[in-house]
């Protein structure tokens, strides 16, 4: 069996084939840190975690990037409402997200870039789009993407071309399909942006990036032009992911993502769980309730990620009972492994050895089938029932008991549905895949020096990303020659300034 995944782009199940196995590049859209993430958001994050862990279970090395959206319409509005700066407002929600991540046993991503830390990369991407003639500056000072210049716009979300309103513009970060029009890449700074400290200088005017652009720039920076996998909730298909494709492909001329995966909504009493409807339960509510996270994970794994799930307290209780059953069985298995007495080793059907082999096969077959976690959970529960019987019979040899525990731990570690101690799966630290090197050369005759410098700073950052120290040093040397100094800040940002300048006035 090989892994097959449902690709939203083609609306088909496709055999998973990464560009450079065993490495897999995965980008998942992270939280917007204007408030606490709700359980609906975490349904998506858990689905992505199961995907990541199953890829690792299958022998892949996953380079996983999840962004933190710390500048967009909502974060700025929330910061202004609270009367604090953007950075001050978002910091506690970033911390809260990481705490919720650890509580829910989400395997940490390789990188968590904050949008505000990669502004130079975003500016460089917009410049490329302007140079290619697919972006333009509106009379309001903002920069827009011209959808008519990108003929395949609408392919992911299947927006009809006749519904596109080319030339008409939308400047908000979130909008509906009825508003499929030129979307904003860079929003000219308004007084409220300045007030929140959410404005940056750029050759095309002071402002801040559009939400969609942020993801394109961050994905490209860490993962290269073409990604193996990009995942998110279904609500991101339009416009967010549609716009990501347009921006990335118009800039690079290459396919942006080979396979798009989207998780369905979590409903509460058949209403989409959202802050807008005021029906959100936060993960911290569950934690404060003293819930073991395995209950929620079991609940989420009991419905396929492409089906809607109705969240109720009763469903959570039932899931907690299921997780409890798995936990009790594991304790029994651990005790059985510790016991000296060796049985006769009842082989064949019903024997513990045969049952372990069957679990491994059924678990793999279920997960290979577009991550059919409900079927995988069913296989685990069947195993618990049959293995309990085998242990009652007392016939299993010590080797069989050990193998049963090993298979049980390996499979449950993918789903993380057993209460108690967290057993984090294998975490590799893969290096970045090779990227198209950007030409590192002195400015061309007549080229704007600042634009060139920003491009060189970006080329240097990318060279460092792929551990090409020689190229990175060359970029730094050229920049110094032309009076620029680059510095890497602690949060991963790159600072570019005239050599000899001080970062802060003394
Ligand atoms: Zn995104």
**pLDDT band, residue 376 (cuts 50/70/90):** very high
* 58: number of Cβ within 10 Å: 17
CA nearest to 1, candidates 57, 66, 69: 57
- Cα of 233 from ligand 1 centre, angstroms: 10
Q: Is the pLDDT of residue 434 over 60?
A: no
DSSP of 411-451, one letter per residue?
A: HHHHHT-S-SS--------PPPPP--PPP--PPPTT--HHH
Mean pLDDT, rounded, for 81-93:
96
Which of 8-22, 283-297, 381-395 is modeled with the greatest confidence?
8-22
- Sequence-distant (6+) residues with CB within 8 A of 313 are none
Mean pLDDT, rounded, for 240-263:
98
- Cβ pair 336, 401 in contact under 8 A: yes
> 462 or 136: whose pLDDT is higher?
136
Kindly state the percentage of the chain with pLDDT values over 70: 88
Which of 74-88, 125-139, 224-238, 387-401 is predicted least confidently?
387-401
Name the average pLDDT for the chain.
89
What is the reported pLDDT for 286?
Answer: 85
What is the reported pLDDT for 447?
Answer: 78
Tokens representing residue 9 in the block: 């782009």
Mean pLDDT, rounded, for 247-274:
90
3-class secondary structure, 354: helix
- Cβ pair 311, 317 in contact under 8 A: no
Mean pLDDT, rounded, for 61-81:
97
Q: What does the pLDDT look like over 180-197, one tens digit per residue?
A: 899 999 999 999 999 999
**What does each C-alpha distance from 428 to 55, 63, 65, 96, 410 come to in angstroms?**
12, 9, 14, 25, 16
- Cα of 352 from ligand 1 centre, angstroms: 46
DSSP of 14-50, one letter per residue?
A: EE---SBTTEEEEEE---BTTS--BHHHHHHHHHHHH
How far is the first Cα of the chain from the last one, in angstroms, to the nearest whole number? 64
- Cα of 232 from ligand 1 centre, angstroms: 8
- Cα torsion angle, 457, 116, 433, 153, sign: negative
Mean pLDDT, rounded, for 268-296:
78
What is the reported pLDDT for 473?
Answer: 84
Mean pLDDT, rounded, for 11-19:
98
Q: Is the pLDDT of residue 345 over 80?
A: no
What is the reported pLDDT for 436?
Answer: 40
What is the reported pLDDT for 498?
Answer: 67
Q: Is the pLDDT of residue 284 over 90?
A: no
What is the reported pLDDT for 317?
Answer: 92
- Cα of 237 from ligand 1 centre, angstroms: 10
- Cα of 244 from ligand 1 centre, angstroms: 7
- Cα of 433 from ligand 1 centre, angstroms: 20
- Cα of 375 from ligand 1 centre, angstroms: 30
**pLDDT band, residue 129 (cuts 50/70/90):** very high
Q: What does the pLDDT look like over 379-431, one tens digit per residue?
A: 999 999 999 999 998 878 989 999 999 999 999 999 999 998 544 443 333 33
- Cα of 112 from ligand 1 centre, angstroms: 12
- Cα of 387 from ligand 1 centre, angstroms: 44
- Sequence-distant (6+) residues with CB within 8 A of 128 are 251
- Cα of 132 from ligand 1 centre, angstroms: 23
**pLDDT band, residue 502 (cuts 50/70/90):** very low
- Cα of 423 from ligand 1 centre, angstroms: 29
Mean pLDDT, rounded, for 48-73:
97
- Cα of 125 from ligand 1 centre, angstroms: 15
- Cα of 241 from ligand 1 centre, angstroms: 7
Mean pLDDT, rounded, for 23-45:
95
Question: Tokens 């809260």 map to which residue?
Answer: 96
Q: What gap in Å lies between CA 184 and CA 176, rounded to an integer? A: 14
**pLDDT band, residue 452 (cuts 50/70/90):** confident
Helix, strand, coil share of the chain (percent; to 5): 50, 15, 35
Kindly state the percentage of the chain with pLDDT values over 90: 69
What is the reported pLDDT for 116?
Answer: 97
E strands of 189-318, at which residues? Answer: 207-209, 227-233, 257-263, 266-268, 271-272, 309-310
- Cα of 29 from ligand 1 centre, angstroms: 4
- Cα of 28 from ligand 1 centre, angstroms: 7
- Cα of 174 from ligand 1 centre, angstroms: 12
- Cα of 493 from ligand 1 centre, angstroms: 19
């Amino acid at each position: 069996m090989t892994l097959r995944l449902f690709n939203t782009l083609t609306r088909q199940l496709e055999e998973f084939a990464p560009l450079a196995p065993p490495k897999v590049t995965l980008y998942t859209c992270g939280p917007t840190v204007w408030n606490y993430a709700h359980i609906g958001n975490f349904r998506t994050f858990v689905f992505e975690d199961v995907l990541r862990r199953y890829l690792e279970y299958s022998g892949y090395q996953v380079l996983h990037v999840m962004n933190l959206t710390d500048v967009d319409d909502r974060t700025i509005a929330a910061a202004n409402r609270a009367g604090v700066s953007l950075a001050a407002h978002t910091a506690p929600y970033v911390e809260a997200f990481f705490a919720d991540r650890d509580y829910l046993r989400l395997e940490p991503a390789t990188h968590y870039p904050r949008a505000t830390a990669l502004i130079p990369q975003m500016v460089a991407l917009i410049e490329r789009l302007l140079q290619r003639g697919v972006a333009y500056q509106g009379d309001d000072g903002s920069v827009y993407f011209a959808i008519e210049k990108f003929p395949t716009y609408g392919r992911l979300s299947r927006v009809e071309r006749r519904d596109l309103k080319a030339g008409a513009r939308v400047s908000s970060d979130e909008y509906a399909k009825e508003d499929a029009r030129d979307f904003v890449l860079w929003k000219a700074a308004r007084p409220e942006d300045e007030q929140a400290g959410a404005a940056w200088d750029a050759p095309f005017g002071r402002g801040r990036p559009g939400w969609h652009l942020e993801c394109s720039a961050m994905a490209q920076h860490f993962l290269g032009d073409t990604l193996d996998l990009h995942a998110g909730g279904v609500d991101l298909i339009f416009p967010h992911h549609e716009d990501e494709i347009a921006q990335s492909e118009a800039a690079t001329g290459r396919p942006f993502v080979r396979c798009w995966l989207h998780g369905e909504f979590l409903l509460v009493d058949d209403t989409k769980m959202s802050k807008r409807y005021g029906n959100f339960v936060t993960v911290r509510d569950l934690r404060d309730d003293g819930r073991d996270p395995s209950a929620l994970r079991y609940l989420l794994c009991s419905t396929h990620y492409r089906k809607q799930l109705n969240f109720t307290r009763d469903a959570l209780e039932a899931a907690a009972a299921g997780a409890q059953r798995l936990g009790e069985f594991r304790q029994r298995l651990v005790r059985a492994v510790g016991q000296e007495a060796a049985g006769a080793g009842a082989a064949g059907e019903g024997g513990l050895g045969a049952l372990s082999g069957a679990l491994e096969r059924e678990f793999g077959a279920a997960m290979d089938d577009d991550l059919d976690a409900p079927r995988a959970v069913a296989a685990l529960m069947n195993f618990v029932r049959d293995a309990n019987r085998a242990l009652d019979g007392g016939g299993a040899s010590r080797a069989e008991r050990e193998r049963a525990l090993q298979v049980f731990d390996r499979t449950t570690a993918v789903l993380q549905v057993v209460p108690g101690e967290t057993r984090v799966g294998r975490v590799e630290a893969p290096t970045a895949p090779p990227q198209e090197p950007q030409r590192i050369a002195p400015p061309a005759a007549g080229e704007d020096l600042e634009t060139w410098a920003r491009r060189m700073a970006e080329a240097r950052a990318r060279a460092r990303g792929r551990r090409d120290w020689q190229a990175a040093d060359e970029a730094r040397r050229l920049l110094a020659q032309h009076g620029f100094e680059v510095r890497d800040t602690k949060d991963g940002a790159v600072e570019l300034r005239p050599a000899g300048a001080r970062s802060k006035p003394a």
